[in-house]
Amino acid sequence: MAAIQRIGPSRLSPTRSRAVLVNGLMMTVAVSSSKTPSLYEQTKDALRVLEGNLAEAGADSSGILLVMAYISRIEAKDEFNRAWDEWVDPEHLPLRACVGAKLEGDDLVELVVTASI
Amino acid sequence: MAAIQRIGPSRLSPTRSRAVLVNGLMMTVAVSSSKTPSLYEQTKDALRVLEGNLAEAGADSSGILLVMAYISRIEAKDEFNRAWDEWVDPEHLPLRACVGAKLEGDDLVELVVTASI
Amino acid sequence: MAAIQRIGPSRLSPTRSRAVLVNGLMMTVAVSSSKTPSLYEQTKDALRVLEGNLAEAGADSSGILLVMAYISRIEAKDEFNRAWDEWVDPEHLPLRACVGAKLEGDDLVELVVTASI
Residue B84 or B2, more confident:
B84
Q: What is the pLDDT of residue B76?
A: 98
**CATH class of the domain whose range is A4-116:** alpha beta
Q: What is the pLDDT of residue B93?
A: 98
| Nearest alpha carbon to residue B106 among B11, B37, B29 | B37
Q: What is the pLDDT of residue B83?
A: 98
Exposed e or buried b for every residue in B80-115, given b needs 16+ CB within 10 A? bbebbeeebeeebbbbbbbbbbbbbeebbbbbbbbb
The ipTM of this complex is: 0.97
**A87 alpha-carbon distance from chain centroid:** 12
Strand duo C19-22 + C25-31: pairing: antiparallel
What's the rounded Cα separation, in Å, for the pair B16 and B55?
Answer: 19
| Nearest alpha carbon to residue A97 among C115, C71, B20, C110 | B20
Q: Give chain A's mean pLDDT.
A: 97
Give burial (CB, 10 Å; 0-12/13-18/19+) of A105.
exposed
> Does the pLDDT of residue B1 top 90, yes or no?
no
Task: Map out the domains of chain C as residue ranges.
Answer: 4-116
Q: What is the pLDDT of residue A29?
A: 98
Contact assignment for B93 to C9 by CB distance below 8 Å: yes
Q: What is the pLDDT of residue C1?
A: 85
Handedness of CA A46, A47, A51, A57 (dihedral sign): positive
Cite the DSSP H helix spans in chain B: 39-56, 77-87
Q: What is the pLDDT of residue A1?
A: 85
pTM above 0.95?
A: yes
Number of Cβ within 10 Å of residue A91's Cβ equals 7
pLDDT tens digits along A67-105:
999 999 999 999 999 999 999 999 999 999 999 999 999
pLDDT tens digits along C16-38:
999 999 999 999 999 999 999 99
Q: What is the pLDDT of residue A97?
A: 98
> Does the pLDDT of residue A17 top 90, yes or no?
yes
- Kindly list the partner chains of chain B, i.e. chains with 3 or more CB atom pairs below 8 Å: A, C
Residue A92, CA distances (Å) to A56, A60, A88, A111, B6 in order: 20, 11, 8, 18, 8
Q: Which residues of C touch A70 (CB under 8 A)?
A: 97, 99
Give burial (CB, 10 Å; 0-12/13-18/19+) of C17.
buried
Number of Cβ within 10 Å of residue B71's Cβ equals 25
Contact assignment for A92 to B6 by CB distance below 8 Å: yes
What's the rounded Cα separation, in Å, for the pair C95 and C98?
Answer: 10
Q: Which residues of B touch A99 (CB under 8 A)?
A: 70, 101-103, 110
**φ and ψ of A97, to 5 deg:** -135, 145
Handedness of CA C100, B96, B69, B14 (dihedral sign): positive
pLDDT tens digits along C36-82:
999 999 999 999 999 999 999 999 999 999 999 999 999 999 999 99
Mean per-residue pLDDT for B50-68? 97
What's the rounded Cα separation, in Å, for the pair C50 and C104?
Answer: 18
What's the rounded Cα separation, in Å, for the pair A27 and C117?
Answer: 16
Cα(first)–Cα(last) distance of chain C, in Å? 19
Contact assignment for C95 to A29 by CB distance below 8 Å: yes
Mean per-residue pLDDT for A44-57? 98
Q: Which residues of B touch C102 (CB under 8 A)?
A: 74, 99-101
pLDDT tens digits along C49-62:
999 999 999 999 99
Q: Max CA-CA distance within chain B?
A: 43
Q: Give chain B's mean pLDDT.
A: 97
> Does the pLDDT of residue C106 top 90, yes or no?
yes
